[in-house]
Amino acid sequence: MIYENALRPLLFCLEPETAHRLALSALAHEWPWRSIGRSAIDPRLRTRVAGLDLSSPIGLAAGFDKNGDAVPGLQYLGFGYLAIGSIRPQPSDGNPRPRLIRYPETESLGNCYGLPSAGLDACVAKFRALAARKPRTKLVANINAETVEEYVRCVSALAPYADGVELALRCPNRSDHLSVYPPDELAQLLGEIGRRCPATPVFVKLPPYFDDAERANRMELVEIAIRLGLAGVVIPGNWSIPEPRLSRGQASLSGRVTFERNLRTVREVASVARGRIAIKASGGVSTGAEALQLLTAGADLIDVLTAFIYRGWNVASKINHELAALMDRQRVNDVRALQPTWA
């Protein structure tokens, strides 16, 4: 409770992005996190997804550490994997500040970061250095680009040093956000990456949906990902809201307020996928009970980000512990047994 009762109130006195940068600086070194994160993860939480052996299905979502700067500390905090990015082909400043706001009453955040990135070359150098040190947590490179060739170039450059890649199709904080994503465009992109990097586990992050037409489009994208042999799809729980206090006048909402939509979307996607592709859920998880609901709904992996801000540096360890305790009550000895069985 040290974080929630003492440190968080101090951090929340700072402007949100300043606090974020301070956290990244603190996590850029292994000390003191190596000693803080010594507690072992319950072996019943071990899972294997897309050929990746993970200590837990709970991972850090892309967006917190955009360039891999905080991996030295993050690797000790109980996450099963760390998604780094979004990584852009060229350096990008993103949108102007202010671009991050807290909603403490709902333990949520709004952001209009856009896609600030140190760029591909800098991130490849960072991943190469990290790979040489053999981090204890799997690293997934989250990539956003404009064209098929740019995506392929980024994946090809990062694949030797990352454990997997995640393709972010559209950012809601950019003007090129689409309501309906062209299926032919996705098929071309995934087909080309499959030909160039056949050994790389690839996840594709689908845009959220809000009506029947968008839902039908996303389910078509899921079928394309299955047909082309992708490792998994990422289900985002966030959506855009008006926010006049930020530079773009709108924000992408994340945090506990998004959990119910995330859970509903996972159920709908799982009913279509029926175990043929891994599902990574991203949105609103803060407790082991919420993680349990997503796993039993059909998620294989669960991204956490905003809870890291509200529950502290050991949020993954807390969720792992709470999830294991709930498995005790249900007499479940393997986290994979929580997922639905498809006939």
What pLDDT is recorded for position 55? 97
Two tokens, residue 138: 């799997």
What pLDDT is recorded for position 170? 67
Q: How far does CA 203 lie from the centroid of its chain?
A: 11
Within 10 Å of residue 180's Cβ, how many Cβ atoms?
14
Determine the Cα–Cα distance for residues 4 and 73; give it in Å rounded to an integer.
19
- In this structure, are residues 32 and 274 in contact, taking their beta carbons and an 8 Å threshold? no
Determine the Cα–Cα distance for residues 299 and 133; give it in Å rounded to an integer.
31
The pTM of the full predicted model, rounded to 2 decimals, is: 0.96
Closest to 238 measured CA to CA, from 88, 98, 140, 108? 108
Residue whose entry in the numeric block shows the structure tokens 């905090």: 77
Burial of 296 from C-beta contacts in 10 A (0-12 / 13-18 / 19+): middle
- In this structure, are residues 280 and 77 in contact, taking their beta carbons and an 8 Å threshold? no
What pLDDT is recorded for position 38? 67
Give 185-229 as a 3 state SS string. HHHHHHHHHHHHCCCCCEEEECCCCCCHHHHHHHHHHHHHHHHCC
Per-residue pLDDT tens digits of the chain, which is 343 residues long: 788 999 999 999 999 999 999 999 999 999 999 987 767 899 999 999 999 999 999 999 999 999 999 999 999 999 999 999 999 999 999 999 999 999 999 999 999 999 999 999 999 999 999 999 999 999 999 999 999 999 999 999 999 999 999 999 865 545 555 578 899 999 999 999 999 989 999 999 998 899 999 999 999 999 999 999 999 999 988 889 999 999 999 999 999 999 999 999 999 999 999 999 999 999 899 999 999 999 999 999 999 999 999 999 999 999 999 999 999 999 999 999 999 998 6
Domain annotation for the chain: domains and CATH numbers: 23-338 (3.20.20.70)
What pLDDT is recorded for position 343? 66
